[in-house]
Amino acid sequence: MRLVRFGEAGAEVPGVLDGDGVLRDASSLVADWGGASLAPERLAALAGRVTDLPAVAGWDAEHAETGGGLRLGPPVARPGKVVCIGVNYADHAAESGMQTPPEPVVFMKDPWTVIGHRDTVLVPRGSTKTDYEVELAVVIGATARYLDSPDDALACVAGYATSHDVSERFLQLEGTGTWDKGKSCETFNPLGPWLLTADEVPDPQDLELRLSVNGEERQHGSTAQMVFGVAALVHYLSQVMVLHPGDVINSGTPAGVALGFPDPKPYLRSGDVVECSISGLGTQRTVMGQA
């Protein structure tokens, strides 16, 4: 299933896109997409009832991926936490001048950075090094705590979404302190357009990622290139923190970010159009604005 949340920011309604791209209102069955509503067994029970849900007026099924005439918010209600994995593709590590890590590099991103896939991303005031990163977002559906092995990990995943992990490189790498502050500026995590449930992703290590800026392709990779795959990441994180339903893991980005270009590096500016896509997870389109 493709789970969405539609409506104005702060007043989104849970919905499902059926096989024909028709938007159906799921509010009679769930209050929102987040927490317990993302439990794999609950999603499985819902799957057989999708066509019984009422269609949403004003929705253009032929243009579902671009919004269908309605605003699509982030497909997960405010996550409890957004956990990010750094340098998780060998080619991105190389372009960043970093070694491939022996274990996952973990940092956190403010959950309030999560916005809808066509909402405006704001370049921070004074920033000249705002960068882009297309990433596979892993959304947790069942509590993961001290999992015995990676073999147990995928059963804890509700689904997957396209994520744009926007970064401010000066704050992240050139100042003092942690990476978090270069990752947590307002609007720095468009998510969506939808959450594809895990049962429709047979292998999360076989997905193609692309990102373009103003129509020019900058990133093109595959989740097969991850240093640590999804199962390994969920298992690892469960040893150092409790992952709760609705939490989001941004699993890393392939090569092609602005940081890796020779000078002058093509960092993002107000007015730039960024498009991110992942196989089966849809394309998000963001127009950059100014804070």
pLDDT tens-digit series, residues 70-95: 999 999 999 999 999 999 998 888 88
pTM: 0.97
Same domain, 42 and 172: no
Torsional class of 224: left (φ above 0), alpha (ψ -120 to 50), beta (otherwise): alpha
Q: How confident is the model at residue 62 (pLDDT cuts 50, 70, 90)?
A: confident
Domain that holds residue 51: 2-66
- Residue 100, pLDDT above cutoff 80: yes
Number of independent structural domains in the chain: 2
The average pLDDT across 160-172 equals 97
Same domain, 111 and 158: yes
- Residue 64, pLDDT above cutoff 80: no
Same domain, 52 and 113: no
Q: What is the mean pLDDT of the chain?
A: 95
Of 109, 118, 119, 45, give the one whose Cα is nearest residue 80: 109
Same domain, 37 and 102: no
User: Last residue of a domain, which of 66, 93, 110?
Assistant: 66
Tell me what pLDDT residue 93 has.
84
Q: How far are the Cα atoms of 7, 32, 60 from residue 11, in angstroms, in the given order? A: 6, 10, 20
Q: Is residue 15 part of a domain?
A: yes
Q: How far apart are CA 102 and CA 104, in angstroms?
A: 7
The average pLDDT across 28-47 equals 95
Q: Is residue 31 part of a domain?
A: yes
Output b/e per residue, 67-103; b: 16+ Cβ within 10 A: bbebbbbbbbbebebbbbbbbbbbbbbebbeeeebee
Q: Is residue 71 part of a domain?
A: no
Amino acid, res. 213: V
Q: How far apart are CA 1 and CA 47, in angstroms?
A: 7
Q: How far apart are CA 283 and CA 56, in angstroms?
A: 21
What percentage of residues in the chain have a pLDDT greater than 90?
A: 90
- Residue 65, pLDDT above cutoff 80: no
Please check whether residue 138 is in contact with residue 160, taking contact to mean a CB–CB distance below 8 angstroms: yes
Q: Is residue 178 part of a domain?
A: yes
DSSP classification of residue 183: H
Torsional class of 205: left (φ above 0), alpha (ψ -120 to 50), beta (otherwise): alpha
Strand partners, 162: 136
Same domain, 45 and 121: no
Tell me what pLDDT residue 32 has.
97
Tell me what pLDDT residue 94 has.
85
The average pLDDT across 145-160 equals 98
> How buried is 247 (Cβ within 10 angstroms: 0-12 exposed, 13-18 middle, 19+ buried)?
buried
Tell me what pLDDT residue 16 has.
97
Same domain, 110 and 236: yes
Of 85, 288, 89, 267, give the one whose Cα is nearest residue 188: 288
What percentage of residues in the chain have a pLDDT greater than 70?
A: 100
How does pLDDT run across 225-257, given as a tens digit for each residue?
999 999 999 999 999 999 999 999 999 999 999
User: Last residue of a domain, which of 12, 38, 66?
Assistant: 66
User: Last residue of a domain, which of 66, 88, 104?
Assistant: 66
Tell me what pLDDT residue 280 has.
96
Tell me what pLDDT residue 69 has.
86
Same domain, 111 and 206: yes
- Residue 44, pLDDT above cutoff 90: yes
Tell me what pLDDT residue 77 has.
96
Lowest average pLDDT, out of 32-36, 66-70, 275-279, goes to 66-70
